[in-house]
Structure 1
Amino acid sequence: MKKVLRIKDNREFQAIIQTRQFVSSSCFSVYYVDKKESVSRVGISAPTKLGNAVVRNKVKRQVRMMIQEISPFKEDFDSIIIVKKPYLNNSYQENYDELNSNYKKVIMKRKRKHEGVSNESI
């Protein structure tokens, strides 16, 4: 995943999380916010509860690879992925499937929200 497509700044992390738009599962919480640019960006957070720095970095590398396969980066939203402790107990494929389903839920929620806005304006 290119560095341009990553969110690194703490203020941006906090701004996205404070929107309170999220999808959650046992291993991930995906916070998202709509934006005007046509390229999506992703931030990954692995809390210290997950383990030491080696474990957290490994988890972030794995999640980056999952995102690279799942997301086309052509959506118009930014997202923050917070990894939870049960991630360590699952296989890579199980985690991949769970993250993929979370991303599909985000896209469906956004689609419903935009359809609702267009229906209200009529």
Structure 2
Amino acid sequence: MKKEFRIKKNNDFQAVFQNGRSFANRQFVVYSLPKENQAYFRIGLSVSKKLGNAVTRNRIKRFIRQSILELRDQITTGNDYVIIARKPAADMDFFEVKSSLTHVLKVGKVLKRANR
């Protein structure tokens, strides 16, 4: 993911947590915060050490990033999103992660209507 599409600073994370709205399913929690004058969306990832060792955590983050990359045309722009992985995400493969993320983003009305 390009640098301008990432949230890295703690202040940005805290702003999304404190002022944003959240929606969740069993595997993920997503916080969303509208940003004025931002033509793109930004993503921040949080994967706790409780989910496993570094290899497991990095695999989960890779799966989330690739899922967001494939869904980027459907995601509402002008927002900051923080995605937090929960314990069941550690045992999922890529397609399950993508399916679960799609579900939680639909719950939060983040995904635009797809022409299917």
TM-score (norm: length of structure 1): 0.81
Equivalent-residue separation in structure 1 for 2:55 and 2:92 (angstroms) = 18
**Segment drifting more, 68-77 vs 16-25:** 68-77
Runs in 1 of length 4+ with deviation above 4 angstroms?
none
Verify the 8 A CA contact 2:27 2:89 in the aligned structure 1. Answer: yes
* Structure 1 SS opposite 2:45: strand
**Is the 2:63–2:98 contact (alpha carbons within 8 Å) kept by the matching residues of 1?**
no
Structure 2 counterpart of 1:86, one-letter code = P
Q: Is the 8 A contact 1:38 1:74 kept in 2?
A: no
Q: Identify the range of structure 1 (66-75 vs 12-21) with the bigger mean alpha-carbon deviation.
A: 66-75
CA distance in 2, matches of 1:76, 1:28: 21
Instruction: Give the whole-Å Cα distance in 1 for the aligned partners of 2:108 and 2:3.
Output: 23
- The structure with the largest helix share of the pair is 1
In structure 2, the CA distance between the partners of 1:103 and 1:30, relative to structure 1 (3 Å rule), is same
- Give identity over the alignment, percent: 36
DSSP 3-state at the match of 2:58: helix
Deviations 1:27-70 (A, max 9, x none): 10000101111211000110110111221111111110011111
Give the Cα separation in 1 of the matches to 2:47 and 2:54. 9
- Distance, in Å, in 1 between the alignment partners of 2:12 and 2:42 is 11
In structure 1, list runs of 5 or more residues that go unmatched: 109-122
Letter in 2 for 1:95: V
Match of 2:78 among 72, 76, 79: 76
Query: Which protein has the larger Cα radius of gyration, Structure 1 or Structure 2?
Result: 1
CA distance in 1, matches of 2:71, 2:23: 16
Where does 1:111-122 land on structure 2 (aligned, <5 Å)? none
What is the RMSD computed on CA atoms of the aligned residues?
1.8
Q: How many residues align?
A: 109
Alignment correspondent of 2:4: 4
Identify if the C-alpha distance between structure 1 residues 22 and 91 changes in structure 2 by more than 3 Å, giving closer, same or farther.
same
Please give the TM-score of this superposition, normalised by the length of structure 2. 0.84
